[in-house]
Amino acid sequence: MALAKTDMGKQKYIGMVAWAVVALGAAVASFSAARLPFAQLDARFLLLALITVVFGSRLTVQVPRAKVHASVPDTFVFLTLLLYSGEAAVLLAAAEAFSSCLTFGKKAITIKPRTMLFNTAVMACATFITVWALRFGFGSLPELAGRPLSSTYFTALGLMALVQYAGSTGLAALYTACKNNEPLWQTWSRHYLWVSITFFAGAAAAG
């Protein structure tokens, strides 16, 4: 009986963490939607968004000499961030994450609705943090992309990849650590440390 109560308490705590992230993601997405600059979004953006959402989970490129794949959707999200607007990138990242969950579901991989919402919220939050980190550090993002190549531009690309990586894997590791009852750092280093190469590859491709 004591073990059952302990397990119920653990599941309740995990649920609270997950729903807190989902709520934050919903707030971030709503804020971004309200600020979306529709005038800057053209047919090329719509095509980019369509490819990202519909085919995103199928588009990966293997990194030479490594058993990892660079995610093409990450590159498209970064391109959207640099060429159009941060708000569009936030919404696109969230839409792609949700679409990927649906695709996995069609492959007989069971994903609970809460997990789908959590994954979607993680990408929305991580991209939102990335957008505002770049704005505080470098100003207007489209103007940054329009400048000649320089050390500042490459620094911005590196920061973009680093913040996106830290934000998305940090939130995912928090959930996994709670679920497995492990220290956060141990969970992050074991399951998410190697993923960094895909984010930096995506930023390099976008740049």
61-105: pLDDT as tens digits:
443 433 334 456 788 899 999 889 899 999 999 999 898 888 765
| Residue 62 phi, psi dihedral angles, 5° rounding | -70, 135
Task: Write down the pTM of the prediction.
Answer: 0.85
Supply the pLDDT for residue 46. Answer: 93
Averaged pLDDT of the chain? 81
User: Which residue range is the domain that position 74 belongs to?
Assistant: 2-206
Residue range 186-206: average pLDDT? 78
Residue range 151-173: average pLDDT? 89
Q: Indicate whether 1 pLDDT > 50.
A: no
Q: Who's near 92: CB < 8 A, 6+ residues apart?
A: 49, 52, 53, 76, 77, 80
Instruction: Provide the domain count of the chain.
Output: 1
Q: Could you tell me the CATH number of the domain that includes residue 86? A: 1.10.1760
Lowest mean pLDDT among 10-19, 30-39, 50-59: 50-59
